[in-house]
Amino acid sequence: MTATRTETRSVLEAKFDDHTARVVVVGLGYVGLPLAVEVAGAGLKVVGFEISREKVETVNAGRSDIDDISDAQLAPLVKSGKLAATLDSKALADADCVVICVPTPLSKTKDPDVSYIVAAVESVAAHLHREMLVVLESTTYPGTTEELIRPKLEASGLKAGVDFYLAFSPERVDPGNTQYMIKNTPRIVGGATPKCTQVAQAFYEVFLDKVVPVSSTQAAETVKLLENTFRSVNIGLVNEVALMCDRLGLDVWEIIEAAATKPFGFYPFYPGPGLGGHCIPIDPHYWSWKLRSLNYYARFIELAGDINARMPEYITDRIARVLNEDQKSLRGAKILVLGVAYKRDISDVRESPSLDVIHLLQGRGTKVEYADPHVPSIRMEDGTEMRAVELTPERIAAADCVVVLTDHTAFDYTDICSRAQMVFDSRNATKKVPKGTGRVWRL
């Protein structure tokens, strides 16, 4: 769908054009803080509204707690007054544009938890005024913007598309990706009305290279779910291929690399200890939940979710098999885990399968330590804290098995393999280690 600018330019669009619009970003986490920095860097004044006092104090001190934003990026914007954080919801009253970037977790029964969205929208509704743009970026089920947010905002008596503007624009943040970041990643925008789409597009065009409008908020919400369901289903497929190759005595990494030489009709995905991060393990279930309410069972989504969720248990069993090579059992064994972040070279442990593997190992009597240069400590399910250990030659040699769960580039895999009694590699991180260096088993 191409943009249509047939309607008269609004007062708010003119403010976006001349960079005088005031923007409030609700939530300064992995999505909100990078967005706030990008908008402020484009010349608009930004206030981040947060419920965490620690977060507000950190941001206002010019310090970043997000991997993709450095202090060097943040501090000048704070010092110049272009970006500030606050605990006071009154900041919303002066906003021309409000972007909601709050968490959208799942309950234990995999039902959507939209409580953070509801709380944010209620705060916005209390300060809603004419010529305000409200955009939801938090991933959620199709229909959330239209069925949940719009009625709460229109209860004020103001109407979307007439008095204020409402849109959904899914975040496309990939932590640790230095090639595609906010500015050069095309952005999807869908408004509650065509005019809402037009105004939201004008906002995002201030600081992004490309904006792609779609026909509705529901369409924009579903685009995001398709993107992450695509990854979840394909990762589920390749994880099952890994299980099948194990039964067949084949090297799954060799199979994938050979298949990837085909220049058409194939895109490589890679197996691992499970899914991590806030998006891929969670987002498809928003779609599945919505469809169940329409009496439709999303079989691919549910099957992929089941396979991916079982990978930590499979990894634990493989570690047990590796230990059996030395006539050792999990109970009483010393395991050194390398990496607990959900992907390489970041500090994000949200939904990390490494935590599940550690929990399973401990449940079977294993003594577990972990090393991760990006994650100094982790909080386990039972509330206890584990702290990272220094990866010394002595510690590597003392472990009955070294287990690679996150393939951080800071690890010297050749040195580790040469010192360890045995290594189990769930990420193919030891691919370039010279053959014959140590005893290495791979997923």
pLDDT tens digits, 364-408: 999 999 999 999 999 988 888 999 999 999 999 999 999 999 999
Q: Is 5 a residue whose pLDDT tops 70?
A: no
Beta carbons of 349 and 274 less than 8 angstroms apart: no
**Domain architecture of the chain: domains with CATH:** 11-215 (3.40.50.720), 234-442 (3.40.50.720)
**What is the pTM assigned to this prediction?**
0.90
Backbone angles phi, psi at 87, to 5 degrees: -95, -5
Of the chain, the percentage scoring pLDDT greater than 70 comes to 98
CA 397 to CA 422: how far, in whole Å? 9
Confidence of residue 107 (pLDDT cuts 50, 70, 90): confident
Q: Is 124 a residue whose pLDDT tops 70?
A: yes
By the 10 Å C-beta count (0-12 exposed, 13-18 middle, 19+ buried), 75 is classed as middle
Helix ranges (DSSP H) in 129-272:
144, 150-154, 194-204, 217-248, 252-259
What average pLDDT does this structure show over 23-33? 96
By the 10 Å C-beta count (0-12 exposed, 13-18 middle, 19+ buried), 255 is classed as middle
Q: What is the pLDDT of residues 271-288, one digit of tens each?
A: 999 988 767 778 888 888
Greater confidence (171 vs 285) lies with: 171
Q: What is the pLDDT of residues 324-354, one digit of tens each?
A: 999 999 999 999 999 999 999 999 998 899 9
CA 223 to CA 347: how far, in whole Å? 27
Helical packing angle, 71-80 and 53-60, nearest 10°: 80
Beta carbons of 218 and 146 less than 8 angstroms apart: yes
Q: Could you tell me which residues are beta bridge partners of residue 24? A: 47, 98
Paired sense of beta strands 385-387 and 401-404, if any: unpaired
CA 202 to CA 223: how far, in whole Å? 20
Greater confidence (288 vs 427) lies with: 427
Beta carbons of 347 and 375 less than 8 angstroms apart: yes
Beta carbons of 166 and 149 less than 8 angstroms apart: yes
Confidence of residue 293 (pLDDT cuts 50, 70, 90): confident
By the 10 Å C-beta count (0-12 exposed, 13-18 middle, 19+ buried), 293 is classed as exposed
Least confident piece of the model among 28-37, 176-185, 405-414:
176-185
From 97, 245, 279, 401, active-site residue: 279
The helix (H) or strand (E) run that includes residue 404 is: strand 401-404
Backbone angles phi, psi at 53, to 5 degrees: -65, -40
What average pLDDT does this structure show over 248-271? 97
What average pLDDT does this structure show over 98-110? 86
Q: Which residue type is seen at 54?
A: E
CA 405 to CA 274: how far, in whole Å? 10
Rounded-to-10 torsion of CA 397, 402, 404, 410: -10
- Degrees, nearest 5: CA angle 209-210-216: 145
Is residue 279 part of the annotated active site? The answer reads: yes
What average pLDDT does this structure show over 42-61? 97
- Residue 332 structure tokens: 């009483």
Helical packing angle, 283-292 and 217-248, nearest 10°: 110
CA 161 to CA 189: how far, in whole Å? 15
Q: Which residue type is seen at 148?
A: L
The DSSP letter of residue 8 is P
* DSSP output for 229-257: HHHHHHHHHHHHHHHHHHHHT--HHHHHH
Q: Give the gyration radius of the chain's Cα atoms.
A: 24
Q: Is 31 a residue whose pLDDT tops 90?
A: yes
What pLDDT sits at residue 295? Answer: 92
- Residue 228 structure tokens: 């992450």
Q: What is the mean pLDDT of the chain?
A: 94
Q: Could you tell me which residues are beta bridge partners of residue 424? A: 403, 441
Backbone angles phi, psi at 286, to 5 degrees: -65, -45
Buried-state track 273-288, b at ≥16 Cβ within 10 A, e below 16? bbbbbbbbbbbbbbbb
What pLDDT sits at residue 111? Answer: 80
Beta carbons of 216 and 138 less than 8 angstroms apart: no
By the 10 Å C-beta count (0-12 exposed, 13-18 middle, 19+ buried), 227 is classed as middle
What pLDDT sits at residue 1? Answer: 40
- Map tokens 């399968």 to a residue: 353
What pLDDT sits at residue 385? Answer: 93
Confidence of residue 438 (pLDDT cuts 50, 70, 90): very high
